[in-house]
Each structure stands twice: as structure tokens, then as C-alpha cells.
Amino acid sequence: MAVTERAQYQPDHLDRGDVIATAKPDAPREHRAPVLMVPGPSNLHPRVYQALLTPMVSHKDPAFLAAMDETAELLRMVFQTRNASTFCLPATGGSGMESSLLNLLEPGDTVVIGHAGFFAHRMVEIAQRLGVKLVTVEVEWGQAIDTARLIAAVREHGARVLAMVHGETSTGVEQPLDGLGAACRELDCYLVVDAVPTLGGTSLPVDELQIDICYSGSQKCLSAPPGLSPITISQRAMRRIETRRTPVGSWYLDLSLHAHYWDETHIYHHTGPVLSIYALREALRLIAEEGLSARFDRHRLHSRALTAGLRALGLKLFAEADHRLATVVTVVVPEGIDSARARAVLLDEFDVEIAGGLDVQTNRMWRIGIMGHSATRANVLLTLGGLELALNRQGYGGSGALAAADAVYAGV
């Protein structure tokens, strides 16, 4: 069911009222429309907003069931998979993380977790609550984990699951995944991958990489509203879930029940978030129109331009050079600079929002998202210009950010 006319998608064509126009300074914050250059959520395309205005129907209405089927097929396109069990959970990306571990692990099993940032630590906390045997392979924040160390840990400990974060939002590192899936299959282990900040912005061919469960969030590179967790489950992993010795510890997060809700039987499990599904479907249609290859190129281009501008200001990037994530650029706050004050200048005077650091990097890092509908030339240049001014007001003295970024765009 088409919600509105679907014109050809033009990622750099901004609806100024939607993306950067602001209300009067004394208007309530919730009535303003900031440029979201945070690592999620991202700004929404006007067609996605329009989808949220679709008339409400029952979660059993044939039109909505058809929308579920189309959404699942579009998700297969983005995940680059043929997995039948591909759908979205009616909760944020954390539900994908928790359900993946909860469904594959049973008492007495061992899980190996690549631990290199804030969100990997959430995996650790979930595993600790499950009471399974936990092994972590750790590196300092800002680094990627050596594949050989991960495979060795799986082999040594006879792990049932290897859990990895593909794009660590807290550090700006993209974790290499090549070889892990094949090794896991050889060792009778299941590979779980967190793709919350990468799905739809960075290539992640699930089938080619032999990932068993991969999950994400709707609000980042997919540019849909927060509240859904896209997930895809291999046939091998689904067999494991359906033949467990013990029931899944959560009825609501039992992935086999969700899979039947989304397959052709549509067996009732919960009241589907109708309008959120319509919005996600429209966001996925936009991705299909743009094309995955072009979309990945767009994210890389704007990330390069942003990085060039930051370097021109003399700022240091946090993530190691060989493994920098295109969709989240992490920047070290210079000595003597008040991180929160600089971010406030961006938000209050330019209506641009960037994020601070997490955990040990609070007030030491800026995290800038290059995600979905927010990833445009205009937004990158606006962010760099505002940041340069904010730094100069604190006596930093850097310059040339816009020229450096513009040179990247001129070279395309």
C-alpha cells in the first residue's frame, strides 16, 4: 500500500524546513528541528514523516500484514541475506542484542565476546545475567580486535557463541569480520553481530560473512524513527533455537515466536507497532531507490570530507587509522576546551547536534554521526563551520575546516 508518491531519491536535496530550519529562539526545544549529526537518531526524510500519518489500522488488517511482508523483503535487501527469518523486533536495538544471546545460549554454554567499547560491555552485562560462562577478548578503546585472537578463544573454550560489535559507536572503530563466520561454523559456534550504527551505511553482507544473527536499530543509518530492531537469523541459528534443551528465558524475546509472527502464517504474538512499521518500510524503500552501493559511497564521501575538515583544524581522531568507522567519526577534545560548551554553541546557534563521549571518554570526545538522511554535504559543512567557531571562541585558533572539506567534494 503506497503511502505517498515515491519520487526518485536525491540524498543531497534538502528540504530546508525539515532538516535545518529552526523555530524562534524562545520556542520550546521540542518544536525545533535540529540537524542530527549524533550517532543516532538521524533526521527523517519527508516521506518517512508522511508514512507516520498513514491512517491507523488493526495489526491484523490485510494491508498491514502486506506491509510487514514488504518490510521483511526490504530488510533482506539491506542485510544482504536470503534468511527467511528476517524481521524487526518491536523495541530498540538493545532488544536485538539481548534476544540474540538469550536465544542461542543455555545454562552451561560459553560465550566469547569481543570487548572493545561501551556497547560491547553491554553484551558482557547481558551474558553475566544469563549465568553462562563468559570469556572476553579485550583491547583498548579505539582499537580493533585481532581476528586470530577471537578464533583462538572460541577454539580454546569450546564457545557456543561469538558475539561482536561491527561498529562500536563509543569509539568509532569498525571491527573486521572476515573469516569469523567460517571459523565459527567449523567449530560449531554461532556468530552474533551488532550492526546498530552500520546497517544501511556500511557494507555488511550477512550471508557472505556467514553471520548467524545480525541485528540493528531503526533510527541510525536506516533513518526511521527509534523503537524497532531489525534482525536476521540464519536457518542454522533458528534450528538451534527451536531445538534447545530448555525454553528461552523470555517469552516476549523468544525469536522463534517473532519469526512465526512475521512469516506467511502471521501467528499472533503482540500488537504490531503499525505506524512505526509503515515508517520503516518507507525508509527502506528510499534505500532501495538509492541503491546500496551508492548509499555506502555517499556515507564514505561525507565521512572523508568531515575527517578532512577536522584534521585541518588540527584535531586528533580517536579511532586507529586502519579501522575507522565511516558512520561515526570520533574526535579527541583538545586540552583546555570545554566539550559541553562547544556542543552548546553548535546546538543553540547552528541547530546542529553532535554527541559527547561515553563512559571513560565523557567530556574527552566528540562523536559525530554520518548517518542516513543526515549524511549530506550541507550538513557536514554546517557542522564544521559551527565547530570551528565554537573552538575559536574558546581561544583554540584553528581554521580551514570548510576549505579542506570542500576540496574533498571538489575531487569527486
**Which segments in the chain show pLDDT lower than 70?**
1-29
Position 1 scores a pLDDT of 30
Instruction: Find where cell 524562534 sits.
Output: 24
Question: Which residues are bridge partners to 134 per DSSP?
Answer: 111
β-pair type (213-215, 355-356): unpaired
Pairwise CA distance, residues 104 & 126, whole Å: 13
Position 29 scores a pLDDT of 67
Position 279 scores a pLDDT of 98
Could you give the maximum distance between any two Cα atoms of the chain, in Å? Answer: 64
16-44+292-410 and 49-287 share one fold: no
Q: What angle do CA 254, 256, 258 make, to 5 degrees?
A: 75
Q: How many C-beta neighbours within 10 Å does residue 46 have?
A: 14
CATH fold label, 49-287 = Aspartate Aminotransferase; domain 2 (3.40.640)
Angstrom CA distances, 220 to 195, 228, 235, stand at 10, 11, 27
Would you say the pTM of this structure is higher than 0.85? yes
Q: Cβ distance 42 to 369 under 8 Å?
A: yes
Pairwise CA distance, residues 281 & 283, whole Å: 5
Phi then psi for 231, rounded to 5 degrees?
-150, 145
Question: Which residues are bridge partners to 353 per DSSP?
Answer: 36
Position 44 scores a pLDDT of 98
Burial of 26 (0-12, 13-18, 19+ CB in 10 A): exposed
Position 6 scores a pLDDT of 27
User: The CATH number of 16-44+292-410 is which of 3.40.50.300, 3.30.310.10, 3.30.565.10, 3.90.1150.10?
Assistant: 3.90.1150.10
Which tens digit of pLDDT belongs to each residue from 92-129? 999 999 999 999 999 999 999 999 999 999 999 999 99
Pairwise CA distance, residues 120 & 177, whole Å: 15
Position 278 scores a pLDDT of 98
Q: Which of 213, 273, 287 is nearest to 45 (CA)?
A: 287
Strand 365-369: give its sheet, edge to edge: 316-317, 328-332, 365-369, 355-356
* Residue-range domain boundaries for the chain: 16-44+292-410, 49-287
